Amino acid sequence: MATIELYHGSSHVIERPTFGLGNPRNDYGLGFYCTETLAMAQECGCVAGNSGYANKYRLDLAGLDMLDLSEDEGYNVLNWLAVLLDNRRVRLAAGLPKQAAEYLAKVFLPDYRDSDVMRGYRADDSYFAFASAFLSGAISLEQLRRAMMLGELGEQVVVRSSRAFQRLEFVEAIPADGSVFYQRKERRNAQAKEAFQKERESSMATQGLYAVDMLREGWNNDSACLRHPLSR
């Protein structure tokens, strides 16, 4: 399997990432969160307008168990959402949101906990609101899939296991100018929120399939509604 190049945005240089550090309530649990896109890492490295770094690494995937949650690999957005809910602290209202979350955990949660490396959608706090909107019935499945593309956040790669950490090879730390990349990040988030609001108010809001349909019809990973290409 190939060697991939990864970038991790930070306020400082990280030559040797430490296994076991971090927030276990991040999207895919405890791990070292990276992107394969330099500009995204530079944005992440600029916090509160300050400059930072995009730390660049190489990761040899040979012998590692990598779980790729992309649709190209046979997964769907509900698999991603189930993993997200399994890790994040979420306060769900009684009724549909809670029932939908429980159903996702039962039917759509993949066996991911022993994976060395994971790849999937990124979901910062504003994007997590899109997922919550689906659970509450405010947006359809199609709108959820569209929402994940709005800010062009791309995918994240998470290094999760000790042996995967040992394979990380530091290459260099690329500076990120806060006056440039912080503004880009703020602009991206604002545009995504505006586009999402327009999406919710569009004519599609009265069409499509919703969380309640998932419960009524008993969707699973083989359901046709999860397999068709995303319309653009």
C-alpha span between 64 and 32 (Å, rounded): 15
What is the pLDDT at residue 203? Answer: 53
What is the pLDDT at residue 63? Answer: 95
What is the pLDDT at residue 231? Answer: 43
Domain assignment present for 42: yes
Dihedral angle of Cα 136, 90, 142, 83, to the nearest 10 degrees? -140
What is the pLDDT at residue 103? Answer: 98
Domain assignment present for 50: yes
C-alpha span between 75 and 92 (Å, rounded): 25
Rg value, the chain, Cα = 18
Residue of 35, 121, 117 whose CA lies nearest to 78: 121
Kind of pairing, strands 117-121 and 52-60?
unpaired
C-alpha span between 114 and 112 (Å, rounded): 6
Dihedral angle of Cα 83, 33, 168, 16, to the nearest 10 degrees? -130
State the pTM of this model.
Answer: 0.91
Residue of 92, 162, 94 whose CA lies nearest to 133: 92
What is the pLDDT at residue 1? Answer: 55
Residue of 79, 91, 52 whose CA lies nearest to 220: 79
C-alpha span between 131 and 124 (Å, rounded): 11
Q: How crowded is the C-beta side of 144, counted as CA atoms within 13 Å? A: 28
Domain assignment present for 131: yes
Q: Which two tokens stand for residue 31?
A: 């791990």
Domain assignment present for 195: yes
Contact 230, 145 (CB under 8 A): yes
Domain assignment present for 232: no
Q: How far is CA 168 from CA 6, 195, 218, in A?
A: 9, 37, 42
Domain assignment present for 161: yes
Q: Which two tokens stand for residue 212?
A: 């309640």
3-state SS assignment for residue 34: strand
Contact 196, 147 (CB under 8 A): yes
What is the pLDDT at residue 145? Answer: 86
Identify the segments of the chain with pLDDT beneath 70. 1, 124-127, 150-153, 203-206, 228-232
What length does the chain have?
232
Report DSSP state, residue 58. Answer: E
Domain assignment present for 65: yes
Q: What are the φ and ψ backbone dihedral angles of 116, each rounded to 5 degrees?
A: -75, -35
Domain assignment present for 117: yes
Question: How many domains, in total, are found in the chain?
Answer: 1
Structural domain boundaries enclosing 156: 3-226
